[in-house]
């Protein structure tokens, strides 16, 4: 993926800088990110995706069904395939998370100390699932540049965590398409300012009347994770569906079907 700097904006643009949306509205940087997040997730959504985990020594693919209630900060994921892992599930309610393993026939609560650990053996973390709703509010956002990524001009948004924000990243860089503000890339930095992970968004297509990236590729950039990557491809997604509250319960978590 080529990345050519085409124009520097000089000093950081503060949060009050306005961008024009496709509808002609003026949006702040924060509103721009929130608009893109709502476009990709809606208030309630459900669907199916395939997650492929690649390492230098092995590769495996999981097929999963997911339900997400963004409005009430809840999410549920169940593994459908392969058979030996079918029934495994994760439940997120607010800042709490549980996982169910059919092999031990019980659910386990994920402690705060394990939030940076791998989710389902992938390069996504438990933190990614638990704090997916917090990115807009827990960081301050400013546009710092415009660049060209894969022949399209994008805004570079630098997001710095607010004091006392319960997040693990020291900084996030968000590359947003200028037309609809959808992300093409996110870069994650640790507290010392080192780039440790990259997420690439691609294969933009319409699902249930919305344009979204259908492929998420996560690449850890640390030496010990060289050659690792995780690809999550959305196969189907329905937005603003009526989800039962019973989906997001411990009882449902421990069901195998």
What is the per-residue pLDDT across 35-75, written as a single tens digit (0 to 9) for each?
A: 999 999 999 999 999 999 999 999 999 999 999 999 899 99
Residue 172: strand, helix, or coil: strand
Quickly count: other Cβ atoms within 10 Å of residue 248's Cβ: 20
Q: Taking a C-beta distance cutoff of 8 angstroms, is the pair 186, 219 a contact? A: no
- The tens digit of pLDDT for each residue in 228-242 reads 999 999 999 999 999
Given a cut of 90, is residue 202 above it in pLDDT?
yes
What was the pLDDT predicted at 107? 87
> In the structure, what pLDDT confidence band is assigned to residue 112 with cuts at 50, 70 and 90?
confident
What is the C-alpha separation between 72 and 254, in angstroms, rounded?
Answer: 21
Distant-in-sequence, close-in-space partners of 35: CB < 8 Å, separation ≥ 6: 21, 27, 181
The CATH class that applies to domain 3-253 reads mainly beta
Given a cut of 60, is residue 147 above it in pLDDT?
yes
What was the pLDDT predicted at 26? 72
Sign of CA dihedral 237, 179, 29, 13: positive
Range with lowest mean pLDDT among 103-107, 147-151, 161-165: 103-107
- Which whole-number Å values give the CA distances from 36 to 107, 148, 177, 240, in the listed order? 34, 19, 10, 15
What is the C-alpha separation between 109 and 113, in angstroms, rounded?
Answer: 11
Looking at per-residue pLDDT, the higher value among 105 and 145 belongs to 145
Given a cut of 70, is residue 14 above it in pLDDT?
no
pTM > 0.75: yes
């Amino acid at each position: 993926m080529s990345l050519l700097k085409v124009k520097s904006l000089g000093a950081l643009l503060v949060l009050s800088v306005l961008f024009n949306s496709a509808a002609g509205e003026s949006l702040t940087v924060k509103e721009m990110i929130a608009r893109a997040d709502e476009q990709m997730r809606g208030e309630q959504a459900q669907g199916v995706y395939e997650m492929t985990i690649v390492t230098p020594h092995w590769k495996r693919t999981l097929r999963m069904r997911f339900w997400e209630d963004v409005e009430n900060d809840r999410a549920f994921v169940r593994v459908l395939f392969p058979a030996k892992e079918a029934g495994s599930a994760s439940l997120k309610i607010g800042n709490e998370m549980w996982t169910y393993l059919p092999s031990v026939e019980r659910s386990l609560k994920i402690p705060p100390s394990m939030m940076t650990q791998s989710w389902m053996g992938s390069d996504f973390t438990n933190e990614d699932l638990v704090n997916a709703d917090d990115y807009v509010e827990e960081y301050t956002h400013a546009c710092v540049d415009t660049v060209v990524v894969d022949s399209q001009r994008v805004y570079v948004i630098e997001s710095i965590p607010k004091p006392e924000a319960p997040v693990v990243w020291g900084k996030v860089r968000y590359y947003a398409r200028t037309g609809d503000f959808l992300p093409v890339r996110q870069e994650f930095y640790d507290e010392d300012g080192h780039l440790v992970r990259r997420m690439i968004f691609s294969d933009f297509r319409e699902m249930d009347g919305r344009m979204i990236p259908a492929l998420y590729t996560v690449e850890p950039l640390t030496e010990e994770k060289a050659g690792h990557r995780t690809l999550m491809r959305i196969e189907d997604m329905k937005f603003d569906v009526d989800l039962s509250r019973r989906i997001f319960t411990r009882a449902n978590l421990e069901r195998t079907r």
